[in-house]
Amino acid sequence: MQKGNLLYEGKAKKVYETDDPALLIVEYKDDATAFNGQKKGTICGKGVINNQMSNRLMQRLARADVPTHFVQELSERETLVKRVEIVPLEVIVRNIAAGSFSKRYGIPEGTSFDAPTVEFSYKNDALGDPLINTTHVLAMRLATAEEIETIERYALRVNALLRDFWADCGVKLVDFKLEFGRLPDGTIILADEISPDTCRLWDSATGEKLDKDRFRRDLGGVEDAYAEIMRRLREHDD
Ligand code: TMP
Ligand code: ASP
């Protein structure tokens, strides 16, 4: 499959057209940003890790009947995916309080929830991805009621599957962000990526952060944390 025109360049990925209008090539970069692009840096080797981790996790989810955009890993940094129209929502699932949840509600980081939470942000960089509720989503016609229901159901299923998988790796899945897309026939599938950029992953024994918070919060050892989380995944995914 040949790379065609660059369709889109985001903060962490480039997306190319291919000779098949139904397929795109995603290329993962080492660039890292935080706080809506205000903080910029490079995490050496991140693109390779995020590509391989996302692909392995999506294949695991597909086997458990969560449809995803994954088609084929083409190289260390490149993957062939189904072309979708992205639903402009960041779908965030949380098992443990952290990040913006802790800040917004004054709940200490590390507080476990009795049941996972699901929230949506409106994907709009100019507005800083504001939190949005389902009545707002309907009012703005970002998704239909049926689509919202499907997205929430898949998001919770992804959480149950990944929480168990990461537990086997000695890792707590604190929270994560998903994005969904529509195929031309309207089918909703999981898109974007699942990686240490988009999940909070804490070592179960020590609580050590093995994710992008090391970059966001200047904790050091960023590359080592990405390598360690990938090592754990490989060990348990083969
Ligand atoms: P938050 O606590 O900052 O709202 O983040 C919740 C989860 O979503 C966390 O695992 C990091 C992920 N996330 C992204 O993937 N992209 C983003 O732009 C933000 C703000 C968070
Ligand atoms: N990637 C997002 C950004 O720059 C935020 C984040 O992951 O913290 O803006």
Query: What percentage of the chain has pLDDT greater than the value 90?
Result: 98
- For residue 67, the CA-to-ligand 2 centroid distance in Å is 25
Residue nearest ligand 2's atom 9 by CA:
36
Asked whether 34 lines ligand 2 (CB < 6 A), one says yes
pLDDT(1) > 90: no
pTM of the model: 0.98
Local structure of 56: helix, strand or coil: helix
CA angle (198, 130, 92) in 5-degree steps: 35
For residue 123, give the ligand nearest its CA: 1
Res 198: pLDDT: 98
Question: Could you tell me the domains of the chain?
Answer: 3-82 (3.30.200.20), 85-221 (3.30.470.20)
Choice from 13, 36, 127, 129 to test ligand 2 binding pocket (greatest atom count within 8 A of CB): 36
Q: Which of ligand 1's atoms lies nearest the C-alpha of 36?
A: 18
**Longest pairwise C-alpha distance within the chain:** 50
Q: Go through the chain and tell me how many residues it has.
A: 238
| Per-residue pLDDT tens digits for 120-159 | 999 999 999 999 999 999 999 999 999 999 999 999 999 9
C-alpha–C-alpha distance, residues 236 and 152, integer Å: 27
Choice from 39, 92, 100, 173 to test ligand 1 binding pocket (greatest atom count within 8 A of CB): 92
Contacts of 123 by beta carbon, 8 Å cutoff, 6+ apart = 86, 88, 89, 90, 129, 179
